């Protein structure tokens, strides 16, 4: 799967999956990131959410809760926040890295299999 397909699937799942599934997939994806990458997520996302929702640490579950709440409150927050953020070992492709990790999770895999779709629903959001 190329970067664009990963981003399309990420967008689709954010629009259609239950929040609990989205949070679990975020947690699984964040667990795949390096500590430096998780610190980047916390730092950048903290600038986009109310102070009361900023995670106390960059552990995957805390980040997942913060990211999912941000998406539920204002869709596409993650994409707007990370589309151009460079990071250690990411070469400016942070969103692609995050989306790829997200859609590669067992949660996302089960979601797409149950949806019966092999693509992001053919949508370009």
pLDDT in tens, 9-58: 888 888 998 999 999 989 988 998 889 889 988 998 999 999 999 999 99
> Rounded to an integer, what distance in angstroms lies between the CA atom of residue 39 and that of residue 20?
23
Residue 75 has which token pair? 């869709």
Helix (H, G, I), strand (E, B) or coil at 99: helix
pLDDT digits (tens, 9 = 90+) for 46-88: 999 999 999 999 999 999 999 999 999 999 898 888 776 665 4
What distances in angstroms separate CA 8 from CA 1, 99, 124, one per listed residue?
A: 11, 9, 7
Its pTM surpasses 0.85 = no
Residue 70 has which token pair? 């941000």
> Rounded to an integer, what distance in angstroms lies between the CA atom of residue 83 and that of residue 59?
22
Whether residue 98 contacts residue 3, with contact meaning beta carbons closer than 8 Å, is answered with no
- 72 HSE (CA, 13 A, CB side): 14
Report how far apart the first and last C-alpha atoms of the chain are (Å, whole number).
18
> Rounded to an integer, what distance in angstroms lies between the CA atom of residue 11 and that of residue 101?
13
DSSP 125: -
């Amino acid at each position: 799967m190329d970067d664009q397909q990963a981003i399309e699937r990420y967008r689709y799942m954010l629009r259609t999956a239950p929040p609990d599934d989205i949070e679990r997939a975020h947690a699984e994806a964040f667990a795949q990131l390096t500590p430096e990458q998780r610190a980047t997520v916390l730092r950048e996302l903290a600038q986009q959410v109310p102070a009361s929702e900023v995670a106390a640490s960059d552990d995957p579950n805390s980040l997942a809760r913060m990211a999912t709440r941000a998406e539920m409150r204002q869709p596409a927050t993650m994409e707007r926040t990370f589309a151009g953020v460079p990071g250690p070992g990411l070469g400016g492709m942070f969103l692609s890295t995050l989306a790829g990790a997200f859609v590669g999770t067992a949660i996302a895999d089960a979601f797409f299999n149950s949806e019966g779709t092999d693509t992001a629903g053919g949508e370009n959001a």
